[in-house]
Structure 1
Amino acid sequence: SPGLLNNLKQSHPAFDVFYNYYFNKYINTRLSLAYGKISGNDSYSSHSWQVERNLSFESSIYEFSGLIEYNILGTQHLINPYLFGGINTFHFNPKTLYKGDWVYLQPLGTEGQGSDLHPDRPKYNLVDMSIVFGLGTKVKVNKSLYVAFEIGWRRSNSDYLDDVSKDYVGYSELKRTNGELAAELSDRTGEYFGNADYAGRIPGEKRGGKMIKDYYSMTLFNFIYVLNSGNPFDSGKRVLCPGF
């Protein structure tokens, strides 16, 4: 749900290593392994309904990407802006802090997944795919070292990166089918108001933004080391690159 993922106050470090293959001075492919973390907290929202919803999460992201880069000016220039796009496969596993302990959310079925309340809602997969697109700039330091700065967006095929997608199923109903912990973490409004007698949301009331899939982004500063001699960006040349 974008409502838990769109706040810059919740940015985290990310790391990647990638392998480039240059077909010519304009086009290259990239295979990339990356690690990052995403998180969200309703307390940062400017909308009262989200603050009262009182949900939060964090998740590590492990991704493998296959990308194509287009070097706009060609790689012979000192400064080389580029565009990139492709797909990735990524693993995520949202968790939340509850009474001092981290609790993984997917096994609980906080929106009735895996229960007879919603037979149409199986538990979501923790491995999914996304469309990747972005832009960046490479700068030549010397014949063996380049640096690059880029930002890339991931439009995922999942709406559960934050464990929030559809609507509330009702506290008592969810407690019956999925257990007390699932019911407690599905609806945390009572915690916000400090009301121990809170009866829970009405079943069917909006919990997330089910019309929009989740997305996340990575901003990376890459060091590009050339592992072979000659012009590293000639056709057929290969380059190994770590970044953060």
Structure 2
Amino acid sequence: MNTVFAKSRKDSLRKGIMAGALLLLTLAASEVEAQRRFNNFVPYSSVAFGVGTSSYFGEMAPYSRHVVSIFKPMRWSMTGNYTRHFTPRFAARASFTWARIMGDDHLMNTGNYEGNFYYARNLHFRNDLKEFAAIGIFKLTPDSRSYDRRAQFGTYLFAGVAAVAHNPMARVPDIEGDQWVKLQPLGTEGQGNPEYAKPYSLVQLAIPVGVGVRYKINPRWDISAELGFRFTSTDYLDDASGNYADPNLLKNDLARAMANRSAEPTAARKNRDRTEGLQTFLRNQYNIESGDPFTTIQQTDFATPGTLRGSAARKDSYLLGMIHINYILGSPIKCPPLK
């Protein structure tokens, strides 16, 4: 019995060693092939221009309603970039992107959502983002030894870091005329006053991550499509994150008007009537029937100092969908020296 057991152990050990050796040989062969391809690869560069869409997630476009948040407030974006392809699988990109995002309580809370807290809050914004990004690209479909021999179709992943300049704006109430004003200088949540936060920065950090596909049109031209999510370091892309401030501490009448818009008879961005929706809110939340909901809501505790205006539980983010036209700058093919 012991002899059989010992033989079995030897056989198992032998098989294990053979399997380990085979694995090492396979890895070594892969490494040799990768090194061979790397040594033969001719680095090249490309430039691109792209246009696409932008969507925002935050206080006025919640993550919990992701499909609606992507498509209802969707706006435009455009970009230009320079990419250096160092190896068959790795490239680095420097890019500038200009994207407009927007959010609107009235737009997002009609129909079955009409009459909820967000409908009553009645905030909106738009924000033109200027993004400067440094991005690493990992090609799931590796290049061949030169740009003109790259695969017809390719896929890739990307991630990086970006600085984003932003400045949220909103349309003033109709009594002030048709104009948009910058919200950060107004301190709509009391920023800059004692016991309140400092004014938020208009330059923020973002982490771009995403996926792309590429199609080779000819040796010099590609077309590509990307979907990229941006995680940001701020909750103020939409100017809403904390609580309502004491209106007596705000800078002026315009700041007070932009901080609390619950009593406005229309949704300012599109000038839509709010009477029925606000009546529904008062009925559901306060059990009040009112023929003049815009006066009545000011007599409730809604939007009083210290009550929620936004939520800091999750930072704002945005999603970009892009179509690029890429031009390959190329590099001369290196020929071995004659001996």
**Normalised TM-score (structure 1):** 0.87
The Cα shift of 1:183 comes to: 1.5
Residue matched to 1:139: 215
Q: 1:148-159 alignment to 2 at 5 Å? A: 148-159=224-235
Q: Deviations over 1:76-110 (max 9, x none)?
A: 32111110000100111011011222111000000
Larger Rg: 2
Tell me the equivalent position of 1:166.
242
1:179 & 1:196 partners in 2: Cα distance? 21
| 1:124 counterpart = 2:200 | yes
Alpha-carbon separation, structure 2, partners of 1:190 and 1:136: 45
Q: Check whether the contact 2:250–2:256 (CA below 8 A) recurs between aligned residues.
A: no
Asked if structure 2 preserves the Cα contact closer than 8 Å seen for 1:5 and 1:216, the reply is no
Q: Distance in 2 between matches of 1:3 and 1:201?
A: 16
Which residue of structure 2 aligns with residue 190 of structure 1? Answer: 263
Counterpart position of 2:74: 11
Choose which of 174, 178, 198 in structure 1 pairs with 2:251: 178
What is the distance in 1 between the residues matched to 2:214 and 2:180? Answer: 40
How far 1:174 sits from its partner (Å)? 2.3
CA contact (8 A) 2:72 2:108 kept: no
Asked whether the equivalents of residues 240 and 310 of structure 2 are also in contact (C-alpha less than 8 Å), the reply is: yes
Structure-2 separation of matches of 1:72 and 1:160: 36
- Which runs of 4 or more aligned residues in structure 1 lie more than 4 Å from their structure 2 counterparts after TM superposition? none
Aligned to 1:22: 85
Using the alignment, how far apart are the partners of 1:13 and 1:3 within structure 2?
20
Residues 38-117 of structure 1 aligned to structure 2 (within 5 Å) = 38-46=101-109, 47=113, 48-75=116-143, 76-98=150-172, 99=174, 100-116=178-194
The 8 Å contact of residues 85 and 134 in structure 1, kept in 2 or not, is answered as yes
* Equivalent in the alignment of 1:242: none
Identity over the aligned pairs, expressed in percent?
28
SS at match of 1:3: coil
Structure 1 residue 230, shift from structure 2 partner:
5.5
Give SS of 2:201's match.
coil
| Structure 1 match to 2:18 | none
Cα separation, 1, equivalents of 2:184 and 2:249: 17
State the shift of 1:123 in Å: 0.5
State the alpha-carbon separation in 1 of the partners of residues 136 and 128 from structure 2: 25
2:326 corresponds in structure 1 to 224
The alignment partner of 1:4 has SS state of: coil
Distance 1:139 1:101 in 2: 44
Q: Which has the higher strand share?
A: 1
Matched residue SS, 1:89: strand
Bigger shift: residues 132-141 or 200-209: 200-209
CA–CA distance in structure 1, aligned partners of residues 95 and 233 of structure 2: 19
Query: Which of 86-95 and 198-207 deviates more?
Result: 198-207
Q: TM-score scaled by structure 2?
A: 0.63
Distance in 1, Cα, partners of 2:209 & 2:229: 6
Using the alignment, how far apart are the partners of 1:205 and 1:54 within structure 2?
15
Counterpart residue type for residue 156 of structure 2? Y
Larger proportion of helix: 2
Structure 2: runs of 5+ lacking an equivalent: 1-56, 63-68, 144-149, 265-273, 279-292, 335-339
1:110 and 1:182 in contact (8 A); partners too:
yes
Unaligned runs of 5+ in 1: 235-244
